[in-house]
Copies of this chain bind each other. A is one copy, B any other.
Amino acid sequence: MKKPSEVLLDRAFHHAAMQKLAAKRSGLQVEKMGRPDIVHNTLLQVLETPLNWENQLRVFVHTQDDYVISVNPKIRLPKNYIRFVGLIEQLFAKKQVPEAGTPLMKLKKATVRNLIDEIQPNRIFGFSTLGQPTLMRTAAKDIADIKNPLAIVGGFPRGHFPNKTRQALNSMFKVDREPLDAWVVAGRFVYDFEWAIGVAERRIKPTATNHG
């Protein structure tokens, strides 16, 4: 039997518990809590891609209460949401999954600043409707021009990066006039980044007639 503290909060089911937790813990924004579905959808959109298969992507998930999940590029993420929730609950209980052997996800306590200090990016980019209007293709090219860049997508349903994240950014891009879901931004970024570094062309050699 799971203890209440071992249940991954989900806005669709645990609204009252989230309100209580936010009231008790200062600094937590309730509107950014309880959306593991956003993380799941976003990971699904970026992990099973040529960019990741070619080992050109590292994914980290930072949570509001300063946990960081490091994702092994070799993970086969559960496609089913309920299985994903089970895996994340296991991760928070055991600090890594699977518990033995090469971890596919690791958890530690860390702020965005700690993560930046660890991965030492040469430049940090964020996607936000508060940013400079920029075509995603252009943004992806700019990012691909940097050795060891870090690109941050907000994994919350609305609102903006907290100040401490925003202050860490060197550039902030607005890629549509409306806010886009995190998984759409992340998926399009990964795809345009593939183009920027030539992955797409390298993997498919068009044959003479495309119009067969």
Count copies of this chain in the complex: 2
Instruction: List residues of chain B with CB within 8 A of the CB of A37.
Output: 79-81
Q: Answer whether residue A183 sits at the interface, using C-beta atoms and an 8 A cutoff.
A: yes
Instruction: List residues of chain B with CB within 8 A of the CB of A136.
Output: 200
Residue interface mask A179-212, B partner, CB < 8 A = 1: 0110110011001000000001101111101111
Query: A134 contacts which of B78, B142, B187, B206 (Cβ < 8 Å)?
Result: B206
Determine which residue in A35, A134, A205 has the highest number of CB atoms from chain B within 10 A of its CB, and name it: A134
CB distance from A18 to the nearest CB of B (A): 14
CB distance from A166 to the nearest CB of B (A): 13
Is the beta-carbon distance between B135 and A12 smaller than 8 angstroms? no
CB distance from A96 to the nearest CB of B (A): 23
Residue of B with least CB distance to A79: B37
Residue interface mask A44-85, B partner, CB < 8 A = 1: 110011100100000000000000000000000011111100
Is the beta-carbon distance between A132 and B41 smaller than 8 angstroms? no
Residue of B with least CB distance to A36: B80
Is the beta-carbon distance between B135 and A201 smaller than 8 angstroms? yes
Is the beta-carbon distance between B187 and A135 smaller than 8 angstroms? no
Q: Answer whether residue A172 sits at the interface, using C-beta atoms and an 8 A cutoff.
A: yes
